[in-house]
Structure 1
Amino acid sequence: MKCRKTVKLLSMYIDHELSGIEKSEVENHLLKCRNCSLELDLLKKLHNRMISIDIPEPGPFFEQNLFSKIKNLKTHSVFELIINYTNSLFTRPVWIPAGTAAVLLAVILFYSGSFVYALSGKNTQIQNEIKKAVIQKYLKNSNIINIITLTELCSDCGKTLCACSRSINKHEECTCGKCSLNHKKE
């Protein structure tokens, strides 16, 4: 038998609760192992001290007082237990870090939204630059079909088309006919 198993059985050995086989195994191990024998001696001393403690007799009204206290214990309904638990949740200092985290999250979301909005503005500028480059390319090889096609495909770039047309073809007035701008040569 190993020491670990023997030490677990020592208390039962002292109380005479082991079967015959277990008792003989423990006794054989104790003959061979000095550490377990010392552990048994310590447990026997502790056991003897516990037995020697005087336990006072309960008073004449002990049972009556005990049962009346048990009877007077207030039983709580499930609803009351839930209310008490939730009230204790809101009084705990856990809400301070949780509130701080919520504010931090709100700040992060606000600034990330601003960043996305700023990027969308830059995106629009890039798109306008691309439109302008495409329009200038088509206007260099200027014919009426290219201009009409561009104005049909790009309804929001009438001003860009007119500006590009003026800068490349040196027209004084709008060539697309769809915008209300009449440009004079600057």
Structure 2
Amino acid sequence: MNCNEIKDMLSLYMDDELNESEKLMVEKHIQSCDKCRKELEEYKDIKNLLQSLPEEEPPEGYCNRLHEKLLKEKSLKRTNRRWVKYGSIAAAFVLIFAVYAISNMGMGRGSKSENINYDMAATEAPQEDAGEPSPDYNQSDGRSAGKESTAIGYMSDEAKENSMLMTTAMPEKRKMKIIKTGTFVSQTENYDEFVNDLISKVSSLEGYIEENNTSVHNVHDNRELKYGNLKIRIPQEHFYEFVNYLEESSEVFNKNIKETDATKEYYEKDNRVKNLEIQEEHLRELFDKAQTVEETLLIENELRRVRTEIDSLNISLKDIDDRASMSTINLDIEEVLPTNFTLANKDSLWERSKEGFINTVNIIIEIGENLIISIISLAPILIPIIIVFIIVIFRIKKHRKNKL
């Protein structure tokens, strides 16, 4: 981010209204930019100075006088709007009456023009109907047709006028503010080549790479396997074109696309800005009319509050404009080794049988060796147990013989 964008965010940074990522960007920029760091320190000094100022009480009766002035301004504007409203309605009625009068004045000429039209129509009849008698249009028919034509023409003019008024009254169509974001996890066999091609593709789509972090995550046969995290900004109209490019140029394992409609939030803040600007203008008028120091200070504090809120809303509007015009793609790319598939030659039946027999014998030998090792290892325990077992059996046999 450049210095102008950071300066716009300094006030929000001081008020702790930025998210974690924006805070980190501001702090990182301040560490490397002496100019922005100096401006931040000046803001802090001004804030500390303003906080140290004692609060001044407004003069007695000032709030009532200010409230009365605002009510007067509001009533004057309401009266002006009422006159404009009623004047517009009266002008509309005059216009409709004039159109109606003009149309009635032209009704007498309708029969003549209509007779001419019918005569021309009879002259231009198809050739196959030339043998049939043409209809005889008398004067009364011409008059009735003329009245019908004039009425149709009047209705079409009125319809056109109504449609024109409706078009003027319709609000301007708002532009949608859709914020597109995407998160992808993919693998490639050649990291450097993929990143270079990716940078070229981003440039061709009039985008840019906001962040590019690369590290080595593994080493195999003296080859470094890299891992990268990229934050890419792409114009909204090229978002899905770039998504298709990623899926074609790498193996995508995870994909998450999100579209957020910020239209309502944007225009609510925009209307809030417009209302605050009107309020600021009224406060400046009152500031010019202030007669005492107390009144001046009170209005000045209110102006400062309104201007701070306007600046904050404008920064938020710029942020929405930026995210809506330039979509954001977070890409995690991992370099992997190419997979080689080779078919081994199958051995003959005799060789496989021989190999199986040898493996079985080796397993039996290994089991025997492990058993012998286990017996020898447990000898200090097994020998006393065997001796006791033999003695018990011998006594049991001797006891049975004595009973017999």
- The TM-score by the shorter chain falls in which range? 0.3 to 0.5
- Highest RCO, 1 vs 2 (Cα 8 Å, sep ≥ 6): 2
TM-score for both structures, normalised by structure 2: 0.18
Structure having the higher strand fraction is 2
When you count helix as a share of all residues, which structure comes out higher?
1
